[in-house]
Structure 1
Amino acid sequence: MRMMFLLFMFLLELLGSTLSQNSQNLFSRGTFQTITRFRGSNERDFSNFVDLPSQRLQASQPQRGGASPQGNSDCALELSNTCITYTEISEAFVTARDSVVRIPLKSPRSGSFDRDEVHNLGVVIQETTRILAQRYGLDSKALFERISLIDTTRTSINGFCPTALLKKDCSLARYRSLDGTCNNLENPLWGSSMMAFSRFLPYAYADGIAEPRRSVSGHPLPSPREVSALMHRDENVHEHSINILLIAWGQFIDHDMTLTAETENIRCCSGPNTTHPSCMPIQISERDSFYSRHNQGCMHFIRSRAGLRPGCRLGPREQFNLVSATLDANTVYSNEEEVLRKLRTYSGGQMKTLPAFSDLGLKDLLPLNLDNPNRGCIRPSREFFCFLTGDQRSSEQTVLALIHLLLLREHNRIAEELSLINPHWGDEILFQETRHIMAALVQHITLQEFLPLVLGKAGLQEHGLTPFSQGYYDGYDKTINPSSSQVFITAAFRFGHSLLPSTIERWSRSHQYIGNQKLSEMLQQPYDLFKAGWSDQYIFGMMNQVAQAMDDSITDQVTNHLFEEPGMAFGMDLAAINMQRGREHGVPSYNRFREWCGLKPITTWGDLVGVMHNGTAYQRIYESPEDIDIWSGGVNEIPQKGSLVGPTFACIIGRQFFNLRSGDRFWYENSGWPSSFTVEQLEEIRKISLARIICDNTDSAETVQLRAMLLPDHKLNPRLSCRSGEIPRLNLEPWRDAGRV
């Protein structure tokens, strides 16, 4: 029961490159200028749009694993006057294995590896690299660019490397794999779950291998809590046009692309685990104006787990992503088959919901996580449950849970309509085709509504992200790795923390203010959604409540009260956690990324005048401008004209999304693949908007502004009737299976 258009698209694929159209659209003029400017100003011989080690690995593959020019078949990597041998690597691996791992490495290597097993092997490979670096005096450039070229399948590492990280055979298919593998047919692990993050710049570990970044003087950096308390105070300055929906959508797609593997069930400030090797608690000064009142001198923080590169290649400590890196809507569906089975009804392509208010005629809620009720939320009693969705963080805050709710309802709405158009389709086709459309929906809203506000028109053009209004994009590039970069996940895409308000408002369907709730009381406590009609009120509130300004100010609801448990008067500090995370991931400083982006580096404190809102205050806490943490410096930058963020974050975010668009074979605008939509289907997908999703998936919405992430304005962004054609609808008629009557 295959659709005629699927057969047609498969035949198109067989024709290969003859179907390629408009290939000149791969780079806009602005993007090409960015690449050439970057190369010229920094004298680098690589593109800043790709994962640099992987790009160099591709270029070096014909020579890897071969004998040295001297004919030494045991030579793994030739240095200037010597050679690292496979034998020495195996010996170093055994030494590292025997000295650092408390439990045996997994053997045999077949089957799935859990995050603990990945971490254990990752630490051993990290320490193997340390042994070799010390023995041969390898510098940071060699550790970043060369050591990962070694073919470790010729060493004892191969006996422990998961088979999933070795050669994988791929075949063309219409639908994505759930774990993201085989998106790139030549590099099947790019962008897949359980893989290490990519890097734009070399590691900034203090010891070159794993120790958190230090000051350029060699001294420890100041406590991130001290930086937060000085630089990121709550000043309650409002934005002028952005609303809370933009923040919620940003967090939703962030969770679609990244989930860093972390050690669980360890407390680093008290109890028996304070000396655990993964503990890296944040120190709190006795002079801290807030925490000193609560006798707190330590904030819990635990390091991310060590990860693995494809083929278990050597290198410094790397962290890994538990989810696929592409925008594939797996926040709705999960990257794990076991979780997805719990989410599906296996009837009509539908997903499970909770009919909490069916007696009132209201739409269903997200299903409950009955199997693991404590995961992802703070339960005041056993009667409360977290939600079960494709992402374990959906209960992290109420507005995020609402985006999950809207998209779950949209999935079921589309699946039901497809079943009416094609009554002969079974559950599997209905589910997979709906999932395919939902991924396109998330990509389109991100490209059409979210990124233009974050980067501005000029930023979109500069990074090749201008949305197409018709035809295909044809920009897929198999040499581009869509994996999330370290600086993106630890700093740049955490810009939204500056936009968070102190309270979340509820509004009526007639757009009248009703009330609000403290943000800290809604973090991991989304229980207001169990009150009839409140989900709509919070959605209407998100459309009408202004966000905080994009600046150095962060609400104290997340700098003093993050994940505060009921009955407690304090929580954690999100700003401090952001900086600590960047340091422990070995992410370079703010200045290094200014250089990478072609911007003038900061050499004196006076250079920060006109660059940041409150830059000169940094000299009160950092030894040098070279020490400024990238997250802190990035949110402090004055936004570019027409953009929400400053030039450094715009550069990083723009390049990451360029990689996501150009490195994703399943990107919704691409042509010539079995996964490609027809021109007629693509025209319909381009009608999708967040406004229409709100209209179709709330109980009482009557009017919504078309640009839903902006505040309504009677001239520039008026509210429109949900019943009118002014908010276009997705017409699924182009999905009618012409092969069946």
Structure 2
Amino acid sequence: MEGLIQNRIRQRQPQLNIDISDLFSATSSATDSNCSDSGPCDLYSPYRTITGYCNNLKQPNLGTTLSNFNRLLPSAYEDGISEPRITAVSGDPLPNPRTISTTVHPDVTHLSTRYTLLVMQFAQFLDHEITFTPLNQGFQESIPSCRPCDSKQTVHPECNPFQIPPDDYFFPQFNSTTGKQACFPSMRTLAGQTYLGSREQVNQNTPYLDGSVIYGENNCVFQMVKGENGRLNSSDLGDGSKELLPRTATHPKCKSPSGLCFYAGDGRASEQAGLTMIHTIFLRVHNSINDAFQVLNPSWSAHKRFNEARRLVVAIFQHIIYNEFLPRILGEDALENFGLRLLYDGFYDKYDPTCSPDTLTEFGAAAYRIGHSLLRAEIPMLDNNFKPVCPPLLLRDSFFDTDILFTPNIIDHIARGISATPMEDLDRFITEEVTNHLFENTKIPFTGVDLISLNVQRARDHGIPPFNDYREYCNLNRADTFDDLADTTPADAIKQLKQIYQSVDDIDLFPGGLTESRLPGGLVGPTFGCIIGIQFSRLRQCDRFWYETSDHVVGFTKKQLAEIRKITLSKIICDNIDGNNDIHASAFDIPSDSTNPRVACDSLPALDLSPWKEKKNKYTG
């Protein structure tokens, strides 16, 4: 079967052989003058720039690609300037990140009784929309190997490896080939100093919810994904099924035996099969809207059709985030507290040109990594009749290996499986697929890395203060002892934290936040809920192009807004897969005959594009 798939792929090489290596490089394409924007802002354009330039008319560069991450609290570096935090308040070393992972975050399965795996998958897609932290690179943009324990001295000064503990249950303490101490590889993220002071990090993406995950974060990536006649580039299997993402033979992280991987506005679209699925769905959404506009408004140029389709796709994306996704993550009370409730009708008039949309480093490097808890070891697949497709796809087998996705109907199978199968509950437990086997070369033992260890290491790299500081920032009582955490944290989790940390003031933000009990009606605890709530509040309030805006230049009409407000992710998925057109009424919620039945796609509210029909006048006929 594998050989047949590879032969089929090789026979259908993409006509567009694009080199997308720059998608992973902030130091090349993104900084090229042809890739960025400059000059005066067009006050009368209804369209966003690709780079975020001129979203804020008073500060055109605010929120553009390659801006620095923002902070809620001042940085906490070891030396006060740049070095990652390594010392506990006692003066002893902080716990090893791997020890934190294995002690606080073991692999224990607790399937959710409320939500499907699509919550996890949409969360990752959304994360890639607003955060991409580029790593330092080596000679000619190579990716240095920071796995040797002495790599900081011998490979690259920004290598930041950490040792495998001597009592690790899975990874050997010593490299069997060299006999030397074994380490986990870690490279520090790119520093982006714009003023004197402590180290800050670069966000390669725009922070705005502007569809950069679909269309690219700079003009060079945009030109790679933009097709002809108002469409996005795509590929197909030639069997009449719906289009796939475009393919390339030059993807820098591709592990497919065929040599081909997908690409999209975000270079991580091939990272794992579920993520590729949702990228594919939104590619199809853009192209179907563009094609509909061509029929509805034949006088529109391809340029206008593309921009109107992009504008509508971004609005749909924003609506799904705030109408369906965030209520499940934060709960209704938090939505109210952070001003995240959408309007049922009318326009939003709270745009604030003085606020900063820049992604919070606490959000990107810790609080929004909650999705790692939701992962399952397998990517479930269901056929047209919602029967399991066997064997399921192991997560470890799809990391940048896309050949299986050329199997007919597999995008449909994954879409149905992810939207009808429980996710892991959001708790402190993490599947070993990402704590032992992340990006593993399956032919070589112990080549995987531990995602949770990297989360802890990354937060220290970014100078993120300890968890207790954020408790205090978020109006919780500052804990003087571990027992003081009992107001938000279960006793079993406190016991594990106490086992490895000497002081409550040493606890890293990620394990501290992930161990908290959830907010009423939500999935996250109060500290992460606070950070996530602040982030999404700013993403709405700081965005001049927010889809509900009352600004008549960039906003939609009342009738257009009414159509956007109908849309659900279930309808989006159902309209953009092949096979039987039925789906569960809410793709984020566990199927239930009484509360979330399977329904015909046509029974779900549809987007009526007639409010976008251009009115004729005496000049246009």
- In the superposition, the TM-score normalised over structure 2's length comes to 0.89
Query: SS state of the match for residue 512, structure 2?
Result: helix
8 Å CA contact 2:152–2:160 kept in 1: the answer is no
SS of the equivalent of 1:704 reads strand
Residue 192 of structure 1: aligned partner: 64
Please list, as runs of the form range in 1=range in 2, the aligned pairs for 1:705-720 lying within 5 A after superposition: 705-720=584-599
State the AA in 2 paired with 1:329: G
TM alignment of 1:625-636, pairs within 5 A: 625-636=504-515
Q: Which residue identity does 1:222 align to in structure 2?
A: P
Q: Greater CA radius of gyration, 1 or 2?
A: 1
- Which position in structure 2 is the counterpart of 1:561? 437
- What is the match of residue 607 of structure 1? 484
Distance 2:481 2:287 in 1: 57
Question: What displacement does 1:466 show?
Answer: 0.8
* Alignment match, 2:207: 325
How far apart, CA to CA, are the structure 1 residues paired with 2:429 and 2:577?
33
The residue aligned with 1:689 is 568
Q: Structure 1 residue 268 and structure 2 residue 157: aligned? A: no
Which residue of structure 1 aligns with residue 407 of structure 2? Answer: 531
Give the drift of 1:706.
2.1
Which of residues 472, 482, 491 is equivalent to 1:595?
Answer: 472
1:684–1:609 distance in 2 versus 1, CA, 3 Å: same
1:657 matched residue in structure 2: 536
**Structure 1 partner of 2:42:** 171
Structure 1 counterpart of 2:352: 477
Aligned-partner residue type, residue 579 of structure 2: S
Cα gap change, 1:209 to 1:278, in 2 (>3 Å): same
Q: Secondary structure in 2 aligned to 1:495?
A: helix
1:249 to 92, 107, 122: 122
TM-superposition CA deviations, 1:495-538 (whole Å, max 9, x none): 11111111111112222222312211122223321101111111
* 1:288 pairs with 2:168: yes
Change (3 A) 1:166 1:336: closer
CA positional deviation for 1:610? 5.2
Between 327-336 and 406-415, the greater mean CA deviation after superposition: 327-336
- SS of residue paired to 2:380: strand
Distance, in Å, in 2 between the alignment partners of 1:543 and 1:615 is 34
Cα distance change on mapping 1:719 and 1:118 into 2, 3 Å? closer
1:212 Cα deviation after fit: 0.8
User: Offset at 1:458?
Assistant: 0.7
Q: What residue number does 1:68 align with? A: none
Residues 399-414 of structure 1: pairs in structure 2 closer than 5 A: 399-414=274-289
Cα contact 1:609–1:616 (8 A) shared by 2: no
**Conserved in 2, the CA contact under 8 Å of 1:668 and 1:677?**
yes
> Could you say what secondary structure the match of 1:459 adopts?
helix
Aligned length: 575
**In 2, Cα distance between the equivalents of 1:445 and 1:562?**
29
Measured after TM superposition, the shift of residue 274 of structure 1 is 4.2
SS of match in other structure, 2:336: helix
Listed one character per residue, the Cα deviations across residues 460-500 of structure 1 (whole Å, up to 9, x for unaligned) are 00110011111111121111111100100001110111111
Residues 209-267 of structure 1 deviation map (CA, whole Å, 9 limit, x = unaligned) = 10112322343311100110111000111111111111111111111101112123111
SS state at 2:602 partner? coil
Is 1:514 matched with 2:389? yes
Gapped regions of structure 1 (runs ≥ 5): 1-113, 122-161
* SS of the residue 2:54 aligns to: coil
**Which of 365, 370, 373 is 1:495 aligned to?**
370
Cα contact 2:37–2:53 (8 A) shared by 1:
no
Superposed CA deviations along residues 104-159 of structure 1, whole A, max 9, x for unmatched, are xxxxxxxxxx844999x9xxxxxxxxxxxxxxxxxxxxxxxxxxxxxxxxxxxxxx
In the TM superposition, residue 704 of structure 1 has moved relative to its aligned partner by 1.2
Q: Tell me the distance in 1 between the aligned counterparts of 2:563 and 2:293.
A: 14
Distance 2:498 2:411 in 1: 46
Check the 8 A contact 1:608/1:616 in 2, yes or no.
Answer: no
State how far apart, in whole Å, the 2-side matches of 1:208 and 1:645 are. Answer: 31
TM-score (normalizing by structure 1): 0.75
Match of 2:89 among 212, 216, 222: 216
Q: Say whether the 8 Å CA contact 2:97–2:453 is kept in structure 1.
A: yes
How far apart in 1 are the matches of 2:351 and 2:118? 30
In structure 1, the residue matched to 2:235 is: 354
Q: CA-to-partner distance for each residue in 1:278-327, whole Å, 9 max, x for gaps?
A: 0110211121111028847201000001113xxx3222111011111011
The residue type equivalent to 1:621 in the other structure is I
- Verify the 8 A CA contact 1:376 1:394 in the aligned structure 2: no
Q: Deviations over 1:686-728 (max 9, x none)?
A: 111111111111001422122211111111112211122xx11
Partner of 2:3: none
Instruction: Identify if the C-alpha distance between structure 1 residues 693 and 165 changes in structure 2 by more than 3 Å, giving closer, same or farther.
Output: closer
Question: CA 1:168–1:562 in 2, change beyond 3 Å: closer, same or farther?
Answer: same
Distance (whole Å) between structure 2 residues aligned to residue 518 and residue 592 of structure 1: 38
Determine the C-alpha separation between the residues in 2 that align with 1:445 and 1:701: 23
Change in 2 beyond 3 A, CA 1:625/1:271: closer
Residue 131 of structure 2 is matched in structure 1 by 258
Matched ranges for 1:102-501 at <5 A? 115-116=26-27, 169-172=40-43, 173-213=45-85, 214-264=87-137, 265-270=143-148, 273-275=151-153, 276-292=156-172, 295=175, 297-308=182-193, 312-347=194-229, 349-356=230-237, 358-359=238-239, 361-370=240-249, 372-373=250-251, 375-379=252-256, 381=257, 383-501=258-376
Secondary structure of the 1:226 match is helix
Distance 1:170 1:207, change over 3 A: same
TM-superposed CA distance for 1:618, in Å, is: 1.3
Alpha-carbon displacement from aligned partner over 1:587-641 (angstroms, at most 9, x marks no partner): 1111010000001122112223352241222122112110111011111111122
Q: Would you say the 8 A contact 1:246–1:450 is kept in 2?
A: yes
> 8 Å contact 1:606–1:616 — kept in the other structure?
no
Decide whether aligned partners of structure 1 residues 355 and 648 sit closer, same or farther in structure 2, where only a CA change above 3 A counts: same
- 1:549-569 superposed Cα distances (whole Å, 9 cap, x missing partner): 111110011001111113123
Match of 2:456 in 1: 579
Q: Distance in 1 between matches of 2:152 and 2:580?
A: 51
- C-alpha separation in 2, matches of 1:415 and 1:495: 35
SS in 2 for 1:249: helix
Q: CA deviation at 1:427?
A: 0.7
Note closer, same or farther for the CA distance 1:405–1:116 as it changes in structure 2 (3 Å cut). Answer: closer
Q: Secondary structure at the match of 2:285?
A: helix
Q: Match of 1:45?
A: none
Counterpart amino acid of residue 182 in structure 1: C
Of 674, 678, 684, 2:557 maps to 678
Shift of 1:421: 0.5
Question: Aligned in 2, Cα 1:517/1:167: closer, same or farther, shift over 3 Å?
Answer: closer
* Residue type of the alignment partner of 1:298: C
| Cα distance, 1:564–1:117 mapped onto 2, change above 3 Å | closer
Contact 1:339–1:390 (Cα < 8 Å) also in 2: yes
Q: Which shows bigger deviation, 268-277 or 698-707?
A: 268-277
**Unaligned 5+ runs, structure 2:** 1-24, 138-142, 176-180
**CA contact 1:168–1:188 (8 Å) conserved in 2:** no
Letter in 1 for 2:409: G
Q: Secondary structure at the match of 1:353?
A: coil
Alignment deviations for residues 157-186 of structure 1 (CA, whole Å, 9 cap, x no partner)? xxxxx9999996433221111111111112
Residue 551, structure 1, aligned to residue 430, structure 2: no
Q: Deviations over 1:328-375 (max 9, x none)?
A: 11111102222222222221x11121121x33x2111111023x23x2
Distance 1:532 1:287 in 2: 46
One-letter amino acid of the structure 2 residue matched with residue 709 of structure 1? F
